[in-house]
Amino acid sequence: MSKRTLRVSKIKEGTVIDHISGGHALDVIKILGITGRAGGIVTIAMNVPSKTVKAKDIVKVEGRKLASAEVDKIALVAPHATINIIRNYRVVEKQRVKLPKIIRGIVECANPSCISNSNEPVQSTFYVEREEPLLLKCHYCGYVMEKPDVLKQF
Ligand code: CTP
Ligand code: ZN
């Protein structure tokens, strides 16, 4: 982008979720439970040209840090995202999200008769068959879940 214009302002304190695949910012917003009605300042930029990819989305949440459970969920919908902690206008921490090969305990199997949904003490376990778009395969019943099945649970 040209230095003459700044598309979105820098923030003073908070978290910037950068390098979200273009068009997927709203998945991240959903995971963070942002409705806009809590009053905090949130900036969403969608389909912004980027050096490394065709287009990316950015979500800036002021005055807030993310819980590690939220970061784990973001990895499912934005496996290339970077999470930047901002303090006094500076990036004081930069973390790349990481999508493990095996996902345990974060999502439930969408197959109601799966053993992981029974009263047995079995933790949900999925293999990441494809990162983007997301495809998860249940270790127990083989059911294949896509991103909308996962987002429905968040
Ligand atoms: N940012 C912000 N407010 C600040 C500082 C940074 O909103 N006070 C945003 C930047 O606009 C960018 C992200 O946080 O979207 C990361 O900032 P920075 O590390 O400075 O940018 P890059 O070096 O381009 O990041 P990367 O190397 O991860 O691409
Ligand atoms: Zn299952």
Looking at all shown ligands, the one closest to residue 112's CA atom is 2
- Chunked into runs of 10 residues, the chain (154 residues) has average pLDDT values of 74 97 95 93 94 92 96 96 98 96 96 95 97 96 97 94
Ligand 1 atom closest to the CA of 12, numbered from 1 = 8
CA distances from 28 to 10, 17, 107, 112 (A): 19, 9, 16, 26
Residue 53, pLDDT score: 82
The count of other CB atoms within 10 Å of the CB of residue 14 is: 20
The count of other CB atoms within 10 Å of the CB of residue 3 is: 5
Residue 52, pLDDT score: 84
Residue 3, pLDDT score: 63
Q: Radius of gyration of the chain from Cα atoms?
A: 17
Residue 1, pLDDT score: 52
Tell whether ligand 1 has an atom less than 6 A from the beta carbon of residue 11: yes
Tell whether ligand 1 has an atom less than 6 A from the beta carbon of residue 91: yes
Model-level pTM greater than 0.85?
yes
